[in-house]
Amino acid sequence: MSDVAERVKKIVVEHLGVEEAKVTENASFIDDLGADSLDTVELVMAFEEEFGCEIPDDAAEKILTVKDAIDFIEANG
Amino acid sequence: MRRVVITGLGMVSPLANGVKPTWEKLLNAESGINAIESFDVSDIPAKIAGQVPLGEGAGLFNFDDYVTPKERRRMDDFIVYGLAAAIEAVEDAGVQSDDEETLCRTGVMIGSGIGGLPEISKGAVTVETNSVRRLSPFFIPASLINLVSGHVSIKYGFKGPNHAVVTACATGAHAIGDAARIIALDDADVMVAGGAEAACCRLGMAGFAQAKALSTSYNDDPTAGSRPWDEGRDGFVMGEGAGVVVLEEYERAKARGAKIYGEVIGYGMSGDAYHITAPASDGNGGFRAMQASIKRAGINPEDIDYINAHGTSTPLGDEIEHGAVKRMLGAHYKNPTMSSTKSAIGHLLGAAGAVEAIFSLLSIRDNVVPPTLNLNNPSEGCDMDLAPLQAKERKVNIALSNSFGFGGTNASLVFKSVD
């Protein structure tokens, strides 16, 4: 697992209060991890903070799974 | 109209977390007022407050007992205090239900005077000095006053009327009075009602200090700061916490064998139409609220045994209220005992009226009146029985509780024991 993936998963565990085992790469924030629309905004903010990048709103809307987040950050981070 | 009784009590106060430990300390003449250490008050002239005691163990408040870290980010402190008091009240009354029809007949009406001031001040700093994109998406729902009612309804599935009163320091009293009317008019059978407040932060302290409303002479002797009717009083002491009661239609409560603390027999309201922060010098607003409440109760002034005064410890307000009460009681002004529990816990603003309604109900239950602390030298003319320094045992059948707020808003509640 890449460094980015590990850090993304750590943020997801902390912010959504879910067990680490559930945070698989294909897990959907809303469907599998119990996030609501406000949680996803906060998650994106946390990713921006952690990786020092900016995630524009149109890109953020497409980040629906753990893998989406990792891919975006690896491509843009 | 249907009769309405109180069947559950819940409280978070500067004396303790919970009704029972708070009541015990109150009767024991203990004070919940301390020097503020949780934030910087070096540049604020008022440096004392009644803050909720935090920690683990009996009587202490631990946020983790009520909300997960994830939920915590969605709620400013006043919401958690309100939720905690509501949980205590609902469990005390035993009005949880799985029945859809029952849930639709159970409502929530918990207000706040100010709402999420700590969150609002933090959010403003983020937007002005950092970036809009750093503002939490939970900023608005964490700050909104009616979100206490929202969270309580979500937790228990209560789908009846969902409302929140905002009338400054009369909020808690108005909430209980209005909730009683909702039941009396058959719009609900059960209401969870009260007030919550946690505006004890730099912005809140600075704001009230600039309004010259706070005590500033007792920073080195915090427990002496709140001294209603005493000659040495110089302003109110900020408090925080929550008070919530469960109101229930009388026949329903009786049929299920519920414990009944008392009946809401009277509720009166008025407006001063005078000044944004000062009470009218003749106390006419408070007088008319009391008059309306005893008219609704169908009692005479001499029937009142205990009055829980608004009594904030301000130079103007205490004497004006005392005068209005005397005018209402007429020749009977020596009959009841009146005390101000703000002397022990400070002024809980939007929660005050609810917390004081609970103290009034406990006075009825236990036939004892809580004391007015620090009342060593009553101001001239303050010659009612004001329960100075020590709790007083006496028969309490009917209790009246006053709450007055900025803007010139007044509410009086009358409770009576139920055989």
pTM of the model: 0.97
Q: Report, as an integer, the average pLDDT of B272-299.
A: 96
CA distance B73 to A38: 11
Query: Model confidence over B208-230: pLDDT tens digits?
Result: 999 999 999 999 999 999 999 99
> Cβ contacts of residue B230 below 8 Å, gap of 6+?
B313, B374, B375, B376, B377, B378, B379
> Which of B137, B126, B117 has its CA nearest to residue B76?
B117
What angle separates helix B117-125 from helix B202-210, to the nearest 10 degrees? Answer: 100
Q: Report, as an integer, the average pLDDT of B321-335.
A: 98
Query: Model confidence over A47-71: pLDDT tens digits?
Result: 999 999 999 999 999 999 999 999 9
Query: Model confidence over B329-386: pLDDT tens digits?
Result: 999 999 999 999 999 999 999 999 999 999 999 999 999 999 999 999 999 999 999 9
Asked if the model's pLDDT at residue A77 lies above 90, the reply is: no
Tell me what pLDDT residue A75 has. 93
CA distance B269 to B165: 13
Query: Model confidence over B8-34: pLDDT tens digits?
Result: 999 999 999 999 999 999 999 999 999
Residues of chain A positioned with their CB less than 8 A from the CB of B134: 45
The fold of A3-76 is 1.10.1200
Which member of A14, A41, A54 has the closest CB to residue B137? Answer: A41
Tell me what pLDDT residue A2 has. 79
For chain B, give the percent of residues with pLDDT over 70.
Answer: 100
Number of residues written out for chain A: 77
Catalytic position from the list B151, B163, B174, B310: B310
Average pLDDT of chain B is: 97
Tell me what pLDDT residue B183 has. 98
Q: Report, as an integer, the average pLDDT of B196-210.
A: 98
Instruction: Measure in Å the smallest separation between the Cα of A48 and chain B Cα atoms.
Output: 9
Q: Report, as an integer, the average pLDDT of B247-252.
A: 98
Asked if the model's pLDDT at residue A1 lies above 80, the reply is: no
Asked if the model's pLDDT at residue B419 lies above 80, the reply is: no
Catalytic position from the list A3, A36, A39, A71: A36
Domain residue spans of chain A: 3-76
> Cβ contacts of residue B65 below 8 Å, gap of 6+?
B84
Instruction: Measure in Å the smallest separation between the Cα of B137 and chain A Cα atoms.
Output: 6
Which member of A15, A39, A45 has the closest CB to residue B134? Answer: A45
